[in-house]
Amino acid sequence: MQDEVVAWMTTERADGQPQSVPVWFLWDGEGFLIYSRNAG
């Protein structure tokens, strides 16, 4: 994860369908800062 800057986060919608979105992240050695741009 040190070389990647985009990951995919997948959650489940109310109807049970998966919803995947790209997220940008920063790993500081202890935790993640995660950012997702909402297209809506």
Q: What is the pLDDT along the chain (40 residues), one digit of tens a residue?
A: 566 678 888 999 999 999 998 888 888 889 988 888 765 5
Domain count along the chain: 1
Host domain of residue 23:
6-35
The neighbour count for residue 21, using CB atoms within 10 Å, is: 13
Nearest to 7 by CA among 27, 28, 22: 22
**Residue 24, in any domain of the structure:** yes
**Residue 20, in any domain of the structure:** yes
**Residue 14, in any domain of the structure:** yes
Q: Please give the pLDDT value at position 40.
A: 53
Q: Please give the pLDDT value at position 11.
A: 92
Give the β-pairing of 6-12 and 18-27.
antiparallel
Q: Which helix (H) or strand (E) segment is 25 a member of?
A: strand 18-27
Instruction: Tell me the pTM.
Output: 0.55
**Residue 1, in any domain of the structure:** no
Q: Please give the pLDDT value at position 4.
A: 62
